[in-house]
Structure 1
Amino acid sequence: MSIDDIEGTTEAAAAGDTEPSAIPIPFQRRSGVYGLELPRPTVPGTGGPSLLVLEELRVDVDGLMPTMTVSGTRTQLFGGQVTWIARVAWDAAQQGYTGTIFYRDGKTSLVPHTDVLVKLFGGFPFGGQRRARVTFTGGPAAVTRTFVFRRTAFREVGIEYDCASDATAVTDYRLHAHPNRPADLPDTHLTIESAFTRLGIAVTKTGGDDVVPVIKAGSDGLWTDIEMHDAMQVHWSKWADAPQWQVWTLFAGRSIRGHGLGGIMFDDIGTAQRQGCAVFSNSFISDPHPGDPDSDQAVQRLRFWTAVHEIGHTFNLAHSWDKDEMTRWIPLAEEPNAFSYMNYPFRFPAGEAAFWAGFRYGFSENELLFLRHAPERVVKQGAAPWFDEHAFEQIRQATSNALELSLRVNRPTTRFEALEPVVAEVKLKNTSFVPVVVDRNALLGERLTVIVSADGRDPRRWVPYARHCYLDDPYILKPGESLYAPLFLSAGLNGFDLAEPGRYRIHAMLDTASGEILSAPLGIDVRPPRSREEELLAPDVYTDEVGRVLAFGGSRGHAPALDRANDVLREAVERLPDSALAVHAAAALGNTAAVPGRILVQDSTDPRDREFKDVVPDPEQALPLIEKAYGNPVAAADTLGHIGLTRQVEQVAVALAAGGLGNPQEAARLTNDLADTLDARGVLPSVVESVRDTAAELSG
């Protein structure tokens, strides 16, 4: 007989065969945490209670903002642990809540069933202690276990606040203080603690209220992450480099990152992270709101909101628009329209005023699902590391928010094959209604900064193999018009930043005359190798010389390292013919085989005896490679990107039409196919028309 069988028979008998009605009662809260009912099941042959199994049930079907979810964690000594989650609905016929288990984390064999029926009984007005009887069905034989109500809160967390000597702490707010609010919002005085506690996360103040001398931020009075971490270790009574349900919040003056940073979860040092956050009261969150007769209350509201927002990040909550980047948890859809602490008011699609008019001082349903039911290891402070920098930063854009910077990949998915070079596109757009003067070369030089980050790894700055220095070239960017530039992100002077399988987040920042412009993050997923061939070829591909040849679109060799790189690319075409890497390799090799050029050679032992020699096209090599690279223009566009593909095809087509290869019909076909592909993918009509003009010229 299994432990499940013992518990099922023993606990069902202990609870009795009958029970009062389990119909939901409006004035009787059922939601909360339940524990296995005593007496515990006995160990066969001993008659004594079993200590082999610990189990907790979380019921979330009533109270404030219920998610209609039931979850549990079952731990078996020497047998592992599993967390399961089921969405449920009331079933009048069975007088209980029923649903299917949609998530498991851990040793799934501990809860092998697929469905649950949860009956809640006892308590007022029926008398007796509140209980939950859960029947697991689907798969193995049905099992029933009974649980006893333990507490209302799904999590219990301690918190401390300290304040720098030049800052102001805001830890409470009256919800009717500002007239822009939901019409039926209760006139409640919220503290930070009650903001969480009323939603099922019991937050209790455990100490704090230290005054932190601003000199601890250095002579400039501007806080760095290191300085805040040092202050946390000194002033937080609960500090420990270990997982714990504890949070420290520092109300500081200003971050070294400037006026545009309102708050941050700074704690990313050591093995235990996500325990400390800061709110910067001397930042934009305290700026007056012109035209708002209740500006003082608007400022107070934003300060309070910022504190709860940053504390939310310590629970590993993502921004509302970043849900698809969460790690170690269910992939969630982005929620840009969420009336949530985790959304940015000024980023709300309908505008900031509309956000406050609908905000009920809570979290979205998916966020509450995470807070209340996700495995402890991904929620608990100090356990799983944060998956990215969690900050409330005003998106500072040049010329009164006239310009927008964005990163994208021109393909249906952001998943990349193992070994596939990652090519992205950076775009600078005038989103205003007036022309804006910009530098035409702004995206091509030192003013563009790109940061690559991944879970569990330090962020790295992408440093391309070549940087360009241009004189400023003033250009009038019309309303709605954009500048574009391709980015070969896989490799640079720092090596291959995107070699390891996993999820990455890429940010771009552009330094302009009127301020820094930040992009929204681009999330990509690099897949693991699919075959032994990919694994064997990886060490040869991830070399500096191969990275350079791919980044520059080919090399004519005549240097040992570059010859080796070309050999690796030929091997990739032969051994992985159906891969995206083969498209890049064929494009690089085909370009140098088709396009005439010059190389510097040394004809004697004297290093000064060098000369340039012309290299003529090689049709025998070029034509198969061109077909491999561009024969499927849709696949080529997906991996080479629109800008790179257009440049390469036009260059190769010109060579095809010239005397070396002498094939103008093929050149015209190649460019016409390119034009059709770009047109179908929504590329600017002016670009498509330019490609068609090239095709017409080449066909004669």
Structure 2
Amino acid sequence: MIRTESGLYRGFQQNNAKNLELELRIDVNGNRPLMIISGDIFSKTIPKKYLWSFLFTKVKRKVTNNRIELTSKQGKFSSNSNKFSEIIVNIHTKRDQIEAEVNLKRARGTDLQFICIRKSESFRKIIIENDYEEDVKKFPVNKEIEIIAPNNKKIKFSIQRALFDAGIELALGEAGSNAVPIKFAISPEHMHYYWTESELHNAMIHHFSKWEDKPQWIVWMFSASRYEDPSYMGIMFHGLRGNHRQACAVFHKSIAEKKLQLYISVHELGHCFNLQHPWEKTGTSCSSSLSWMNYPWNYVKSKRLTPSKKWFWNAFRFQFDKSELSHIRHGFRNEVIFGGSEFVGGIASKILKNPSQKSSFISKNKSGLQLRLDIPRDKKEFIFGEPIVVELKLFTESNRKIEVHSLKSNSNLMNRCLHPKYEFVQIAICNCEQANQIKNYRPLFKPFLSLNKTKIDKCSPIYESAYIGFGQDGFYFKNSGKYSLCASYRALDGSIIISNILEIEIPEPKEDNKKIAKLLLDDEQGELLYLKGSDSRYLSKGNDAIDKLITQHSTHPFNVYTKFIKGYNLGREFKFFRKDNLIGIRKPKITEAEDLLSSVEELSTKKGEGIDNISLYETMIHHAKIEINAAKIEINAKHKEKAYKLRDRMINIFRNEKKLNNNVMNSIENQIEKILDQEN
């Protein structure tokens, strides 16, 4: 008698042309059964080609003699041209193997019939390459650590065990688990290193031995020391040119507890499977989900109570919730596989589709907050091909203090939680010239954050600017014409704050300008704009195009952006992989960075030209850090003197030329003084 028939089956079509292959997943008993049968259909070719998927729920199970019959009429299909009214699966033992006869029945037309053999008790198998820095204590995916479970019970758990419990077999890739031996290649003054998005992107392509620009069941996990922003504890990031969710990193020196290191590792792998945070699905601020995908400090027992990580750990059973389990085991292949499609949705896109819905959200907004979406001050229009930057302002007209999200790294002036790279803000973009096609702006990286809170009132709004020209979908403004934009912010009380609808027009370019625009409109240049520059040899064509724009079209308005990303990148060190597989450091190129950033600052003081005020503030802060770091490394007083002159110029620009209000100026002055104090 068959003890359990759940698991993965593979087989081939038996009727008609016999040119199809089926990967079948039966989930009716065993660990947390969901009573689902799902499958993926492939062409029987070399190499085989994925065609479509199906999923049947509410499966009925009937046992007769040595045969088990499974049936369901509740089907969902990834292809509209391949729909079936019922699935019937007969399972029996034959020659010491479990065999399934599968019949996909149509209401009209020819049924599909397969014979499949059970291959595994798991539903899917993935391969992971787990690299780690040599300075980071080894934390491989199959290493069990002792943790305290609910009721103070001690258990041993690992990343591999967490996925196995979800029905996923996890195997180490041929490359195994490799050290990234940074410390042997770093000189003493660089021992306090961290990673940037640009370097992580480069590291993935270099160190991920099985990386390909296509969907596959292989993922890269990097156990790193720390990120440049101390608020980051983990991050999931995407491959190039539209292949999503292929890699993640965990920053172990930003996480004190082993239990939390394990938790964040599984959480980031969950994102690679295309799982969302539970509050993103419900549109609320916190969640009662006891899942790997929640934030422990974001857990609430009920709506009446405040979030508590203590309550979370007391009740968490180290598992995904039921809907997440269903997705990982049975989601349509392209929605689960690494490098596949990405979940799309959001409130802002709904408002652009139907602006009348905005009044409903306004009436439900009990937070007292308002959100403003704008283009930079004095900007009349964007040139075709110009990087699109928008400004966000979160404010209230109330005298009372209102709590809002904040990162540990925030200054008083800018609140990074307003940037759409985090989960609190969404920006939807409608191309009015192309049948009102609507896309959500989707960043290349998705971080796990350690959050703070801050308070604002009518005298202390918070601001952020965001480059939204390039993301997971490539360029969002690649065509001339009219665009409509709308943003939403999820407040701490669960209210959804809807911005105004912003109209942007990009005029049709002249032929000469179209040729220049092409120097910025390839994917590599888009990635460089997103990353604020990179030394990666994998983006060399993009860097060549940017250099050509700077040298051959030196007076073109685009060069304020190219000089910004080039100067920003040259002003910081960059980790690169040497031929001996150690990591070398390209030290900051101080003089080149000074020249480029000074040019950006000068261009941006002219009315209606240059970068926006917030980006200019960021540029000058970064410039000041370059000078202070150079003063430390070179022990040279000239850099300290330059930093103090930069402070005076910065205050003059924003107070006298930009005429910012006193509250904002106080924040700017406080922040620049903090930078200068680091030298002492």
Question: Structure 1 residues 417 and 166, CA, compared in 2 at 3 Å: closer, same or farther?
Answer: same
Distance apart, 1:335 and its partner CA: 9.6
Amino acid at match of 2:324: E
Alignment of 1:65-76 (within 5 A): 65-76=32-43
Pair 1:265-2:223 in alignment = no
1:315 matched residue in structure 2: 273
User: In 2, are the aligned partners of 1:263 and 1:280 still within 8 Å (CA)?
Assistant: yes
Q: Distance in 2 between matches of 1:73 and 1:65?
A: 22
User: In 2, are the aligned partners of 1:460 and 1:497 still within 8 Å (CA)?
Assistant: no
Amino acid at match of 2:21: L
For residue 88 of structure 2, the aligned residue among 117, 120, 125 is: 117
Q: Distance in 2 between matches of 1:58 and 1:481?
A: 44
Distance apart, 1:261 and its partner CA: 1.2
Q: Distance in 2 between matches of 1:32 and 1:66?
A: 11
Question: Structure 1 residues 89 and 551, CA, compared in 2 at 3 Å: closer, same or farther?
Answer: closer
Q: Which has the larger radius of gyration?
A: 1
Q: Distance in 1 between matches of 2:264 and 2:314?
A: 17
Pair 1:345-2:303 in alignment = no
1:96 matched residue in structure 2: 69
Question: Structure 1 residues 82 and 481, CA, compared in 2 at 3 Å: closer, same or farther?
Answer: closer
Pair 1:33-2:8 in alignment = yes
TM-score (norm 2): 0.50
Could you give the per-residue CA deviations for residues 620-655 of structure 1, whole angstroms, max 9, x where no partner exists?
A: xxxxxxxxxxxxxxxxxxxxxxxxxxxxxxxxxxxx
Distance apart, 1:282 and its partner CA: 2.2
Could you give the per-residue CA deviations for residues 230-249 of structure 1, whole angstroms, max 9, x where no partner exists?
A: 12233332233333221111
Question: Structure 1 residues 339 and 442, CA, compared in 2 at 3 Å: closer, same or farther?
Answer: closer
For residue 58 of structure 1, the aligned residue among 15, 25, 33 is: 25
For residue 155 of structure 1, the aligned residue among 124, 128, 147 is: 124
Pair 1:105-2:78 in alignment = yes
Q: Distance in 1 between matches of 2:106 and 2:23?
A: 21
Question: Structure 1 residues 84 and 446, CA, compared in 2 at 3 Å: closer, same or farther?
Answer: closer
Question: Structure 1 residues 316 and 480, CA, compared in 2 at 3 Å: closer, same or farther?
Answer: closer
User: In 2, are the aligned partners of 1:171 and 1:304 still within 8 Å (CA)?
Assistant: no
Could you give the per-residue CA deviations for residues 451-487 of structure 1, whole angstroms, max 9, x where no partner exists?
A: xxxxxxx9965337xx99x9xx9986268999xxxx9
1:417 matched residue in structure 2: 353
Distance apart, 1:265 and its partner CA: 0.7
Amino acid at match of 2:107: G
User: In 2, are the aligned partners of 1:338 and 1:364 still within 8 Å (CA)?
Assistant: yes
User: In 2, are the aligned partners of 1:323 and 1:334 still within 8 Å (CA)?
Assistant: no
Distance apart, 1:128 and its partner CA: 3.3
1:239 matched residue in structure 2: 211
Question: Structure 1 residues 387 and 167, CA, compared in 2 at 3 Å: closer, same or farther?
Answer: farther
User: In 1, are the aligned partners of 2:142 and 2:160 still within 8 Å (CA)?
Assistant: no
User: In 2, are the aligned partners of 1:193 and 1:205 still within 8 Å (CA)?
Assistant: no
Distance apart, 1:309 and its partner CA: 0.8
Distance apart, 1:29 and its partner CA: 2.6
After the TM superposition, which of the residue ranges 418-427 and 66-75 deviates more from structure 2? 418-427
Question: Structure 1 residues 553 and 339, CA, compared in 2 at 3 Å: closer, same or farther?
Answer: closer
Q: Distance in 1 between matches of 2:128 and 2:321?
A: 23
Question: Structure 1 residues 365 and 552, CA, compared in 2 at 3 Å: closer, same or farther?
Answer: closer
Indicate the SS of the match to 1:222. Answer: coil
Amino acid at match of 1:311: L
Indicate the SS of the match to 2:177. Answer: strand
Distance apart, 1:108 and its partner CA: 3.1
Q: Distance in 2 between matches of 1:479 and 1:57?
A: 52
Consecutive unaligned residues of structure 1, counting only runs of 5 or more, are 1-20, 44-49, 287-298, 326-332, 389-406, 432-439, 449-457, 490-494, 520-537, 545-549, 555-560, 562-700
Indicate the SS of the match to 2:166. Answer: coil
Q: Distance in 2 between matches of 1:540 and 1:442?
A: 25
Alignment of 1:220-239 (within 5 A): 221-239=193-211
> Percent identical across equivalent pairs?
24
User: In 2, are the aligned partners of 1:172 and 1:304 still within 8 Å (CA)?
Assistant: no
Indicate the SS of the match to 2:4. Answer: coil
Indicate the SS of the match to 1:463. Answer: strand
Amino acid at match of 2:70: Y
Indicate the SS of the match to 2:204. Answer: helix
Distance apart, 1:168 and its partner CA: 3.5
Q: Distance in 1 between matches of 2:204 and 2:334?
A: 22
1:646 matched residue in structure 2: none
Could you give the per-residue CA deviations for residues 401-457 of structure 1, whole angstroms, max 9, x where no partner exists?
A: xxxxxx988xxx9444368897987999999xxxxxxxx999899999xxxxxxxxx
Question: Structure 1 residues 204 and 358, CA, compared in 2 at 3 Å: closer, same or farther?
Answer: same
Q: Distance in 1 between matches of 2:52 and 2:114?
A: 16
1:199 matched residue in structure 2: 166
Q: Distance in 2 between matches of 1:518 and 1:60?
A: 49
Alignment of 1:252-291 (within 5 A): 252-256=224-228, 258-283=229-254, 285-286=255-256
Indicate the SS of the match to 1:54. Answer: strand
User: In 2, are the aligned partners of 1:259 and 1:282 still within 8 Å (CA)?
Assistant: no
Question: Structure 1 residues 416 and 497, CA, compared in 2 at 3 Å: closer, same or farther?
Answer: closer
Alignment of 1:541-690 (within 5 A): 542=483
Q: Distance in 2 between matches of 1:134 and 1:193?
A: 31
Q: Distance in 2 between matches of 1:239 and 1:426?
A: 48
Could you give the per-residue CA deviations for residues 198-251 of structure 1, whole angstroms, max 9, x where no partner exists?
A: 422111112122134167899572211110121223333223333322111112
Indicate the SS of the match to 2:268. Answer: helix
Amino acid at match of 2:261: R
TM-score (norm 1): 0.49
Indicate the SS of the match to 2:136. Answer: coil
1:17 matched residue in structure 2: none
1:372 matched residue in structure 2: 329
After the TM superposition, which of the residue ranges 246-255 and 190-199 deviates more from structure 2? 190-199
Question: Structure 1 residues 42 and 552, CA, compared in 2 at 3 Å: closer, same or farther?
Answer: closer
Question: Structure 1 residues 480 and 34, CA, compared in 2 at 3 Å: closer, same or farther?
Answer: closer
User: In 2, are the aligned partners of 1:116 and 1:137 still within 8 Å (CA)?
Assistant: yes
Pair 1:85-2:55 in alignment = yes
Pair 1:502-2:425 in alignment = no
Question: Structure 1 residues 233 and 503, CA, compared in 2 at 3 Å: closer, same or farther?
Answer: closer
Question: Structure 1 residues 445 and 82, CA, compared in 2 at 3 Å: closer, same or farther?
Answer: closer
Alignment of 1:133-172 (within 5 A): 133-137=101-105, 139-140=107-108, 145-171=114-140
Q: Distance in 1 between matches of 2:404 and 2:455?
A: 19
Question: Structure 1 residues 370 and 518, CA, compared in 2 at 3 Å: closer, same or farther?
Answer: farther
How many pairs does the alignment contain?
Answer: 418
User: In 1, are the aligned partners of 2:11 and 2:22 still within 8 Å (CA)?
Assistant: yes
Question: Structure 1 residues 216 and 226, CA, compared in 2 at 3 Å: closer, same or farther?
Answer: farther
Question: Structure 1 residues 183 and 513, CA, compared in 2 at 3 Å: closer, same or farther?
Answer: closer
User: In 1, are the aligned partners of 2:373 and 2:500 still within 8 Å (CA)?
Assistant: no
User: In 1, are the aligned partners of 2:163 and 2:170 still within 8 Å (CA)?
Assistant: yes
Distance apart, 1:386 and its partner CA: 7.1
Question: Structure 1 residues 463 and 420, CA, compared in 2 at 3 Å: closer, same or farther?
Answer: farther
Q: Distance in 1 between matches of 2:502 and 2:98?
A: 70
Q: Distance in 1 between matches of 2:74 and 2:62?
A: 20
For residue 477 of structure 1, the aligned residue among 400, 412, 417 is: 400
Could you give the per-residue CA deviations for residues 72-118 of structure 1, whole angstroms, max 9, x where no partner exists?
A: 22334699822110013334488533222431013633xx4212233
1:304 matched residue in structure 2: 262
For residue 131 of structure 1, the aligned residue among 88, 96, 99 is: 99
User: In 2, are the aligned partners of 1:80 and 1:106 still within 8 Å (CA)?
Assistant: no
Distance apart, 1:364 and its partner CA: 1.6
Q: Distance in 2 between matches of 1:516 and 1:152?
A: 55
Q: Distance in 1 between matches of 2:23 and 2:357?
A: 47
